[in-house]
Amino acid sequence: MKVEKTFLQGCFLLTPQVFEDDRGYFYESFNEKKFRALTGIDVNFVQDNVSKSSKGVLRGLHFQKGEHAQAKLVKVLKGKVLDVAVDLRKGSKTYGRSFSVILDTEKHQQLYIPRGFAHGFHVLENESIFSYKCDNFYNKESESGIVYNDERLNIDWNISGKVIVSEKDKELPRLQYI
């Protein structure tokens, strides 16, 4: 596994070693010991989630507040998405800045997003299946978010056609109000 630091402290891009032959491929998608050794982070994932979305769907930017905050390890099982993490840690040198990467089934990369970040993704292929491991359980009362098109964040979502955003996500506040 190759681990690359992003410019957002604590946010890492992971690329597995993929073994391919005429039967297909194999790779280790997560190994706690290797992850800890390469990142210095001791994480205990307690919940796995999967979503399926059509091309043009934009989900986010979501996070959980307080004691229910979640670190996530995200990847694409099918398709291609533009994945985005936004640093919401007040006092951080990169507060309000975002990191984006295209995750797909060709490279099998994963993005580790620490607690204190918002997360979202835009689906770039006809059907994408997205997976994320969380280090804390979902808590409805703690869910929050930032509207995806907040001018202050200035995120290039790679939108080239119709974008499909839930009514709930359209109503999320701007960064300055969280």
Catalytic residues: 62, 132
Cβ proximity of 102 and 83 under 8 Å: yes
- The runs of H, that is alpha helices, within the chain are 32-39, 167-170
Count CB atoms within 10 A of the CB of residue 96: 17
Q: What share of the chain is helix, strand, coil (3-state, %, to 5)?
A: 10, 40, 45
Residue 151 in tokens:
């001018």
Give the separation between CA 33 and CA 43, rounded to whole angstroms: 10
